[in-house]
Structure 1
């Protein structure tokens, strides 16, 4: 009888596990909503890298990982969501909040919203869509994977908008969206691997290799963009460092500051200390300083005159910074490739999460 009882118990457990398997999302707009139940911990357990950081209007923190989903911190415990809870993908690339307090997550495979109880899935088809940019609306923008466009949410559905094709001379680059930033005039700056696009609500401007006046051996591979409070546009590249657009003029910021090695291959190869060639994150602090997160050489700060290099933690196996975020209290948070989050206290970095 004991053996029969154990067999019946195992069958019940297996049936429960299979009933919780997530169905694959469709590409027809809203897929479904589902209630969420997750695990909780006292410390942030992500190890695959922090790609996105966000603090909502209630003061709660959200951390998007490279491979493990998203975590929500209410000041006491960390709660975790992944694809078994309704996320379209465990790679979280952006986190936003709308005017109703709904949290929006841009994943590597579509968009999820979370109202505190349920996840809703928004997936858009990129097939045969020829939507006009000026005939769509909405302040929420998301990456659209490795496609040639961007997702814009109008309050009901996500609309896939195709980029006008620039002359992309590097066939290894796609126009998959890597970062977005809005300037003080409301213009949206959209970074893709192969070009930067700006959209002012009426027209799209393309900043490609030719427009940015790059040299023949300087290939675009954009990973970050920031429109700062002074109207400057900062472009972080994986290979040629930082470009700066100021007063309609493009400046090779890394080069003029001596941060490109003399014999640089200007691609994804490892760079030595003292260089800033692979910039994956850019942010402005409350004092107007511009911060850069480099894959190989850690954090850099530009105060308008000089560029200073900082080491986050010498014990880290990699100095790579995935994200930099200014929270509601003007604290500057750095999301690391190893999964931890550090806060700059004015002199050095404290591990905060």
Structure 2
């Protein structure tokens, strides 16, 4: 095992499978025009109620709700079927046959120029409305697994990867960050997975990590790392304990300040969201969600009326409600006072939800694991998958 790893070989395999499930959101190289042959054009579903996923119960059924572009189209990533674009009437499917560099897509954004940028298992790809271009095919990025994307206010492109940290591309040069993170809770380079990137109202960039790194805040000059308290590591649910490798007193002071109130609830963070008043919300693997007001963290777990396992995505809707997607318990809506749970009993297509997106009309889209896509209009759920089986 790598130095700082705390998992057995069997646990590594299980963790890798889990990561693959959830990561399914230049230089003028590799331009591919869309084929003129009608048989090779992107597949569009028109008849009846629009449907999206042709197979369920397999990895390609994993759906990410990633983006509504300036034209109003909603884009969805999948773990094996490329991407889907929904124009309000029909779905159009883009795959490698149409120029996409890989059918395993983790993230989609729209840049300031109106290009749709895709982060895939094989690097970066962008679509200008006519053709796909594979770009930044250099060095370690030639076949990098891109896990998340963000274009900042200065039009720098930031992206997280599986195994090689964070990159920033300013249009001319590429800079790599956090690739040499050596804190003792790092699960090894193979699991150095950056899950999400967010730029807050103050311009700070936040990065969440799956490899035990918690979250980082970048102010343009330096990084600040946020981790759980010392007690978390003295007795960790995963069986990871710093005492297995080093005496607590000899290492922890180098990692955290025990007197600080800036403690996360978990060191494995899926996603980050910012609410209207500037609070940051973090979703974790085992310890629910937590909210950061710039000074201290507030935890939301079972005792607050909220499930504590596997929070995969967080979103604040236009009404100010906080929505939290979970790995096993559907989605929760928090109105600032109480939590309401929505599951398959209420019409949700599946209780394992990996992403949430709100469109301009106020509809909420939920992408699930292995069971496709559904939309909630505030009253009812509509399913957009060929088979409407629920679990």
Scaled to the shorter chain, the TM-score interval is 0.7 to 0.9
- Residue of structure 1 equivalent to 2:103: 90
What are the within-5 Å matches in structure 2 for residues 61-140 of structure 1? Answer: 61-122=74-135, 123-126=137-140, 138-140=155-157
Q: Using the alignment, how far apart are the partners of 2:179 and 2:295 within structure 1?
A: 22
Alignment of 1:321 with 2:321, yes or no, is no
**C-alpha deviation, 1:183, in angstroms:** 1.4
What are the within-5 Å matches in structure 2 for residues 1-353 of structure 1? Answer: 30-36=28-34, 37-42=41-46, 43-46=50-53, 47=55, 48-122=61-135, 123-126=137-140, 138-144=155-161, 146-155=162-171, 159-163=175-179, 165=181, 167-169=183-185, 171=187, 174-193=191-210, 194=212, 195-210=214-229, 216-218=235-237, 220-259=267-306, 275-312=307-344, 318-351=350-383
Q: Which runs of 5+ in 1 are unaligned?
A: 1-27, 128-136, 260-274
Evaluate the alpha carbon distance shift between residue 292 and residue 207 of structure 1 in structure 2; reply closer, same or farther with a 3 A threshold: same
Secondary structure at the aligned position of 2:30 is classed as strand
Aligned length: 301
- Residue of structure 1 equivalent to 2:262: none
Higher relative contact order (CA 8 A, sep 6+): 2
Higher-Rg structure is: 1
**C-alpha deviation, 1:120, in angstroms:** 0.9
Range that drifts further, 110-119 or 202-211? 202-211
Secondary structure at the aligned position of 1:126 is classed as helix
Q: Using the alignment, how far apart are the partners of 1:327 and 1:212 within structure 2?
A: 41
Range that drifts further, 30-39 or 211-220? 211-220
- Residue of structure 1 equivalent to 2:256: none
**C-alpha deviation, 1:278, in angstroms:** 0.5
Secondary structure at the aligned position of 2:191 is classed as coil
TM-score by length of 2: 0.69
Evaluate the alpha carbon distance shift between residue 158 and residue 314 of structure 1 in structure 2; reply closer, same or farther with a 3 A threshold: farther
Q: Is the 8 A contact 1:342 1:351 kept in 2?
A: yes
**C-alpha deviation, 1:159, in angstroms:** 4.2
Q: Is the 8 A contact 1:225 1:234 kept in 2?
A: yes
Evaluate the alpha carbon distance shift between residue 316 and residue 290 of structure 1 in structure 2; reply closer, same or farther with a 3 A threshold: closer
Q: Which runs of 5+ in 2 are unaligned?
A: 1-25, 35-40, 56-60, 142-153, 238-265, 386-391
Q: Is the 8 A contact 1:50 1:336 kept in 2?
A: yes
TM-score by length of 1: 0.75
User: Larger % of strand: which?
Assistant: 1
Evaluate the alpha carbon distance shift between residue 158 and residue 96 of structure 1 in structure 2; reply closer, same or farther with a 3 A threshold: farther
Q: Using the alignment, how far apart are the partners of 2:165 and 2:125 within structure 1?
A: 18
**C-alpha deviation, 1:50, in angstroms:** 1.1
**C-alpha deviation, 1:157, in angstroms:** 6.2
- Residue of structure 1 equivalent to 2:255: none
User: Larger % of helix: which?
Assistant: 2
Q: Is the 8 A contact 2:29 2:134 kept in 1?
A: yes
Q: Is the 8 A contact 1:87 1:119 kept in 2?
A: yes
